[in-house]
Amino acid sequence: MVHDRIPSQLRELAASTQAVVFHRSLKGPPTGSFRSALTRDLASILEVNPDVEWWSPSAPAIETEAGVHVPDFEMSDGHGVRWLLDAPDRRVLDSGRFKKAAGLAGFRYKVLSRQDIYDGHRLQNARDLLRYTGHNVPLGDRVRVLAALDENGSLTFSDCLSVIRETQPVAALASMVLQRFVEIELDDALIGPETQVRRIRG
């Protein structure tokens, strides 16, 4: 097979290059460079978490008696709490001691599990939505979608698409989800025609 003739070093380089690819962000930096596919996937999860205000892959170093550790992410939640986060493939010398040192520096610390990232359909739905980060939704389309939701309480994804006339319907509705004009369930199933869309107020 052709794949078998590709040197292993080139395959590893291709895999590492793929690992740092990330879509444009609303809550993080314009571009992202990550040390692994796991950290890239965690960034996608942070991007669609409504409790996350912002995140950064440039976390501060925390020093303990066990050594200096630089977490994968710094994150602020909706209550203003600052977090230091590590992906599940990160080896921390002494997580208990580091958690205490992070607390003294004004942070909470957590190592996420693979289940936090890969359970359910959230990651795939996040990837699908994040393709449309930065898509501009014309005022007319935004007003029509929100007015239809006001009238009906909730609508299916396909029903919302039918009222979008000035731009690409899927791109527009995905952008409205990312910008928190509307919300959909991301965990239970892949986004489809029957996915329920609701307006976010306040």
Alpha-carbon torsion 156, 162, 164, 167, what sign? positive
β-pair type (52-56, 62-64): unpaired
Domain identity same for 30 and 73: yes
Q: What is the pLDDT along the chain (202 residues), one digit of tens a residue?
A: 434 444 444 333 344 434 444 557 889 987 767 889 999 999 999 999 999 999 999 999 998 887 888 999 999 999 999 999 999 998 776 678 888 999 999 999 999 999 999 999 999 999 999 999 989 999 999 999 999 999 999 999 999 999 999 999 999 999 999 999 999 999 999 999 999 999 999 7
Q: In the structure encoding, which two tokens stand for residue 76, read together?
A: 């602020």
Structural domain of 150:
122-199
Q: How confident is the model at residue 165, as a pLDDT?
A: 97
Residue 91 is predicted with a pLDDT of 78
Whether 2 is in a domain gets the answer: no
- The CATH number of whichever domain residue 137 belongs to comes to 1.10.10
Say yes or no: 113 and 171 in one domain. Answer: no
Residue 61 lies in a domain: yes
98, 117, 136: which is the final residue of a domain?
Answer: 117
Q: How many independent structural domains does the chain possess? A: 2
The answer to whether residues 97 and 66 touch, using CB atoms and an 8 Å cutoff, is yes
The reply to whether 10 falls in a domain is: no
Which of 99, 117, 135 lies at the terminal end of a domain, its last residue? 117
Q: Are 32 and 104 part of one and the same domain?
A: yes
d(CA 85, CA 111): 6
Q: Using CA atoms, how far apart are residues 120 and 116, in angstroms rounded to an integer?
A: 9
With tokens 């992906």, the residue in question is 87
- pLDDT at position 167: 97
15 within some domain: no
- Are residues 68 and 59 in contact, defined by beta-carbon separation less than 8 angstroms? no
Q: Are 85 and 41 in contact (CB under 8 A)?
A: no
Same structural domain for residues 155 and 190? yes
Q: Who's near 17: CB < 8 A, 6+ residues apart?
A: none
Residue 170 lies in a domain: yes
The SS3 call for residue 2 is: helix
- Out of 94, 117, 140, a domain closes at 117
Against a cut of 0.95, is the pTM above it?
A: no
* CA–CA dist 150, 164 (Å, integer): 15
| Residue 23: predicted pLDDT | 58
Classify 26 in phi/psi space as left (phi over 0), alpha (psi -120 to 50) or beta. Answer: alpha
Quick one: 97 and 113 in the same domain? yes
Q: Are residues 30 and 70 in the same domain?
A: yes
Q: Are strands 62-64 and 73-77 parallel, antiparallel or unpaired?
A: unpaired
